[in-house]
Structure 1
Amino acid sequence: MTAEPHEIWTLRHATAWVFTANGNLTRPVILVGDAGTELADLAARADHGSYSLRSELAARGHDLILLGLPDDGSMTGDGGTVQNTVTRAIAECAGDAPLAVGGTGQGALAARYALAGMEYQRIDHRTGVFFSHDGAAPELEDEAELSRMGERPRIPRFLRLVDEGKGDGLDEEAADDTITGGTAASGGPLLSEEYDSWLLDRLPS
């Protein structure tokens, strides 16, 4: 049974579920789901009975913030929602530990655009790691906007997870570290145990 979130954030055009490791927000990991994924489904896969990313994060002292996106959003609009989530996490976080921000599918693209945009605007996103799992490639009309922002965030370490047969429009050299070859089973854990362990070992300490 999926754990209940400790807090629910109502954001513009979206909702986030917050799972804290020790009662207070101290080391946030923001994970943005693919477009149209219900938060309950996202949470169930992040807390799957066969392998729980939420539990593994908590065991290492990391908090998990799950963000759902509408199925009819845009890169720029969804990116604004991610920026709002990052800003709120920084405001509510006790201490100054760096964040980890990323997502899967369209959520990864939204996180990529959000952090790149904050850097372009010289806004401190306090993010130490940006991670992308099967990140969606930008639509043709979004490519110029993303390029104007620098293509991707440059300050955080970039971790790239790409399933077999998937692509995100980025060269492997664009990332600081890449893992490939995994497969996400429908209805199974959000990430494979191999991917989870790889990511956990590379999160900000």
Structure 2
Amino acid sequence: MTAEPHETWTLRHATAWVFTANGSLTRPVVLVGDAGVELADLAARADHPAYSLLSELKARGHDLVLLGLPADGSMTGDGGTVQNAVARAVAEQLGSHPLTVGGTGQGALAARYALAGMEYQRIDHRTGVLFSHNGAAPELEDEAELSRMGERPRVPRFLRLVDEGVTDGLTGEITEDAVTGAAAPSTGPLLPEEYGSWLLDRLP
């Protein structure tokens, strides 16, 4: 059964589901799904019975903002959508606890570009950690755009979670800490327990 969000955000070209830990948005984790993944499927995998990232986040007082992306998007267009979600989280957050922003597949690449673009525009995204789970490798034109933005945002700590054999275009020169594991089934948890526990221990 799909977990029910406490709030739904209608954003530019996308929708986000908000799951709060204590009734209000205080410690947001913005997680961007892979391109074309329905929010209901994203939420079901985030609350998978084998490992519920949603429950583990809530237990530590973190709120989860799940963002779905269209199937036919681009890094720059999706990045604008992620910027919209981050700005909404900053505007609605109570307090000033650093955000966590990241994603899986195309969502990870969009999150990286979004925060780099905000810094390029001198917009305060208030993010302490950026994470990439099996991020999509940028195309040639995307690489040029990322290079123009400085490859990555400089303010947050950049964490990499990647399955063996996955090419995500990231290196130790770009990210600051990494964990590698065996490939998990696409119908399993959004993050395997190994990755989820590792990430949770590094959140602000």
Both structures adopt the same fold (TM-score exceeding 0.5): yes
- How big is each residue's C-alpha offset from its partner over 1:63-115, in whole Å with a ceiling of 9 and x where there is no partner? 00000000000100000000000000000000000000000000000000000
| Larger CA deviation: 133-142 vs 14-23 | 133-142
- How big is each residue's C-alpha offset from its partner over 1:142-181, in whole Å with a ceiling of 9 and x where there is no partner? 1111110011111100110010110111212321110012
* 1:32 Cα offset (Å): 0.2
- How big is each residue's C-alpha offset from its partner over 1:15-35, in whole Å with a ceiling of 9 and x where there is no partner? 000000000000000000000
* 1:183 Cα offset (Å): 1.8
Q: Structure 1: how far apart are the matches of 2:182 and 2:23?
A: 33
Secondary structure (helix, strand or coil) at the match of 2:65 reads strand
Q: Percent identity?
A: 82
Contact 2:11–2:81 (CA<8 Å) still a contact in 1?
A: yes
Q: Structure 2: how far apart are the matches of 1:67 and 1:104?
A: 11
Q: For residue 67 of structure 2, what is the aligned residue in structure 1?
A: 67
Residue 86 of structure 1 aligns with an amino acid whose one-letter code is V
1:21-60 to 2 correspondences below 5 Å? 21-60=21-60
Secondary structure (helix, strand or coil) at the match of 1:130 reads strand
Q: For residue 119 of structure 2, what is the aligned residue in structure 1?
A: 119
1:13-162 to 2 correspondences below 5 Å? 13-162=13-162
| TM-score, normalised with respect to structure 1 | 0.98
Secondary structure (helix, strand or coil) at the match of 1:160 reads strand
Q: For residue 172 of structure 2, what is the aligned residue in structure 1?
A: 172
| TM-score, normalised with respect to structure 2 | 0.98
- How big is each residue's C-alpha offset from its partner over 1:168-202, in whole Å with a ceiling of 9 and x where there is no partner? 11212321110012322121101110100000000
Q: Structure 2: how far apart are the matches of 1:19 and 1:183?
A: 27
1:197 aligns with 2:197: yes
Residue 186 of structure 1 aligns with an amino acid whose one-letter code is S
Contact 1:75–1:113 (CA<8 Å) still a contact in 2?
A: yes
Secondary structure (helix, strand or coil) at the match of 1:145 reads helix
Q: Structure 1: how far apart are the matches of 2:172 and 2:39?
A: 30
Contact 1:36–1:70 (CA<8 Å) still a contact in 2?
A: yes
Contact 1:184–1:190 (CA<8 Å) still a contact in 2?
A: no
RMSD: 0.8
Secondary structure (helix, strand or coil) at the match of 1:34 reads strand
Q: Please list every run of 5 or more consecutive structure 2 residues that lacks an aligned counterpart in the other structure.
A: none
Secondary structure (helix, strand or coil) at the match of 1:173 reads coil
Q: Please list every run of 5 or more consecutive structure 1 residues that lacks an aligned counterpart in the other structure.
A: none
Q: Structure 2: how far apart are the matches of 1:157 and 1:184?
A: 25
Residue 149 of structure 1 aligns with an amino acid whose one-letter code is M
* 1:141 Cα offset (Å): 1.5
Q: Which has the higher strand share?
A: 2
* 1:128 Cα offset (Å): 0.1
Q: Structure 2: how far apart are the matches of 1:85 and 1:96?
A: 17
